[in-house]
Every structure is written in C-alpha cells, then in structure tokens.
C-alpha cells in the first residue's frame, strides 16, 4: 500500500482511562485496513498523565504502533495539535475517547474519501446515554448522535471533529492547525472547517462509518446539553463576526431572537404538562439564545480546566 494511502488515528483523552481503552480496542479490530493504518496517536491532556499506563499495557496486545504524547496543559485544541506533531501520515482520522468505532469504521472513511475526493469526511454517530433519566434519554441520545444522508457522497456543510477523516495537506495546514484560543470553550473544529470552506474545501459523508458515543454521567444531564446547545447556537454569529460580516451577524441575531421566543414559549407549555418533548424545545430555544448572545466572554467552557473540575466533582 502506498504511503499516500496511510492513515493515523488521533485520540485526544482527558482522565478517562477505561473509556480510552474501550475506544482503542475498537480500533484494534478494524477490518479492511491492512497496510493502511500507520499508527494510533493518543494525546493525554491530563496534567498527571493518567493515560500512560493504559497505553503501556495495551502495546503488548496489538501490532499497531501506539504513540503516546503527553500534552499536560489542558485544552482540546492543544491536545489535537500535539497529536498531529507525532505523525506525518497524509490521512488523519479523529476518534474521541468516549466513542467506540464499528469494525468497518476506518475502511468506510477511507473509501468515502477516495470516492468523493473530499478534504474532510464525516461519519454517523449513535448517541448513548445509559446514565440519563429515562424521560431524557431519547433526547440526549439524539443530541450526542449524528445523522446524515443514507448514502456516501459530498455534503454542503461540516460536522464536529469526532468520527472524521481529514486530508492533512488541505484540511490541516501548518504545524498547529487548531486554534488554541478555543482550548476551554471548544469550537476549534468549527473554525478550522470554516477556513477550509472559505478556501474552497469540500466535505464528504461516509454513510457506513458508524461509531457509538457514550455520554458520561456528568454530561448526561439536561443542563449540560442545553449549555452545549447554547454554544452551538453561538457558532454562526461568531463566524460572521470574525469575518466582520456585520449584516450577517445582525441577521443571525434576529433569527436567534425569533427562535428563542417561539421555542421558549413552546418549552414553557410542555414543561407545565411534563412532556418529554420539552427537552427538544428547550434545546432549540438555547440555540436561538446563542445566536443572540454570541459575544466574547459569554462562551460556556466544556474542555480543559473546566472539564477537569467536572471530572473531579463527579469522582467525589
């Protein structure tokens, strides 16, 4: 197999040794990638390096090269950049440490990229929230999941970085393509993909590249999901503001105000009758509020030091 077809899988991780092992074992059993998988790079974002014992133990169980990189300053963009520095593979697949890849995941991503010629290819995600309250679980599993077209092909927009394959030369420019200013809030992938789209980059969909994403207990809550929905809503307004497209900012803010009012009213009614559908309406209202209140300093923080605090609180 030509080196041009080789791929490295990147997994950033933060104090989730059991989940990391589960994710790694799902890569060990990938089918149809013989000669293609160059390495798995694990970027350990825990200051105390909690992932290293897992990697050391699992090296004896696989012939795949496991590369451990300690990135002790907590931050999602910092972790991704640190991992990229450890491999020169021309194709980079990203899997989150709370995800489990299906056996044909990587082959499906590679084949979809070859078929479409896309700079970035995304796959579908089945959300899992086993610790959620029963009434909330269907919403959360949709929230943490990802749906797309039934068939592989080009698409007109991007998704998140988890469960993706990127052509390094075009999608990941420079030694540190992820913006570290987003270390705590996230959104570093949104900025990367917005810049790629502005350069004429193309996005693809791999319909068979399935992964499962397991929401940990501290994330399987309505408050956490709504904070994330608010942050997602901020995205369009913030992207327009960075481009200094103030008419677009005003348009997104107007859309957000209408969404917040309409969906907020619906959520109030559904909450009064204890309908499970209230979660979906609250989600949409939160996204509307995010479009309206997009300004710097209002971004919720989900990663880095804040995530460490949540993990410590959850353990306590």
* Reported confidence tier of residue 1, pLDDT bands at 50, 70, 90: very low
Domain coverage including residue 154: 3-214
Pair 166, 308 in one domain: no
**pLDDT tens digits, residue range 136-195?**
999 999 999 999 999 999 999 999 999 999 999 999 999 999 999 888 877 889 889 989
Q: pTM here?
A: 0.89
Bridging pattern class, strands 120-122 and 66-70: unpaired
Among 173, 196, 214, which residue terminates a domain?
214
Long-range Cβ contacts of 197-201 (<8 Å, 24+ apart): 197/158, 199/170, 201/119, 201/120, 201/170, 201/171
Contact between residue 133 and residue 202 where contact means Cβ atoms under 8 Å apart: no
Among 179, 214, 249, which residue terminates a domain?
214
Pair 152, 188 in one domain: yes
Pair 92, 111 in one domain: yes
Pair 151, 277 in one domain: no
Average pLDDT over residues 186-207: 93
* Count, residues in the chain: 316
Pair 176, 233 in one domain: no
Pair 131, 260 in one domain: no
Pair 86, 132 in one domain: yes
State the residue for tokens 């990203």. 94
**pLDDT tens digits, residue range 218-263?**
899 999 999 999 999 998 998 899 889 999 999 999 999 999 999 9
Pair 203, 248 in one domain: no
Q: Sheet holding 37-44: strands in order across? A: 66-70, 37-44, 7-13, 91-94, 164-167, 120-122, 203-205, 153-155
* 191, 192, 193, 197: CA torsion to nearest 10: 100
Pair 162, 281 in one domain: no
CA distance 235 to 244: 14
**pLDDT tens digits, residue range 91-127?**
999 999 999 999 999 999 999 999 999 999 999 999 9
Please report, for the domain that includes residue 202, its CATH number: 3.90.550.10
């Amino acid at each position: 197999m030509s080196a041009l077809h080789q791929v490295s899988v990147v997994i950033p991780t933060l104090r989730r040794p059991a989940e990391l092992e589960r994710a790694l074992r799902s890569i060990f059993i990938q089918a149809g990638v013989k000669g293609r998988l160059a390495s798995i790079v694990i970027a350990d974002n825990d200051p105390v390096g909690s992932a290293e014992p897992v990697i050391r133990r699992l090296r004896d169980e696989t012939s795949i090269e496991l590369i451990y990189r300690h990135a002790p300053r907590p931050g999602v963009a910092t972790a991704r950049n640190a991992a990229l520095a450890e491999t020169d593979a021309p194709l980079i697949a990203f899997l989150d440490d709370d995800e489990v890849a299906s056996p044909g995941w990587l082959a499906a991503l590679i084949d979809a990229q070859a078929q479409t010629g896309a700079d970035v290819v995304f796959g579908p995600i089945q959300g899992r929230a086993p610790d959620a309250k029963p009434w909330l679980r269907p919403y959360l599993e949709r929230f943490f999941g990802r749906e797309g077209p039934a068939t592989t092909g080009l698409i007109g927009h991007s998704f998140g970085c988890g469960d993706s394959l990127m052509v390094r030369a075009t999608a990941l420019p420079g030694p540190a393509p992820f913006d570290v200013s987003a270390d705590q809030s996230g959104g570093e992938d949104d900025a990367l993909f917005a810049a790629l789209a502005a350069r004429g980059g193309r996005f693809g969909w791999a319909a068979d590249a399935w992964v499962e994403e397991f929401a940990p207990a501290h994330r399987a809550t309505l408050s956490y999901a709504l904070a994330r929905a608010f942050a997602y809503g901020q995205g369009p307004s913030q992207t327009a503001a960075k481009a200094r497209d103030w008419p677009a900012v005003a348009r997104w803010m107007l859309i957000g105000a209408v969404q917040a009012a309409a969906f907020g009213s619906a959520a109030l009614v559904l909450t009064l009758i204890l309908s499970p559908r209230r979660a979906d309406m609250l989600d949409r209202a939160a996204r509307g509020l995010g479009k309206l209140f997009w300004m710097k300093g209002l971004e919720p923080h989900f990663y880095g030091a804040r995530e460490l605090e949540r993990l410590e609180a959850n353990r306590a």
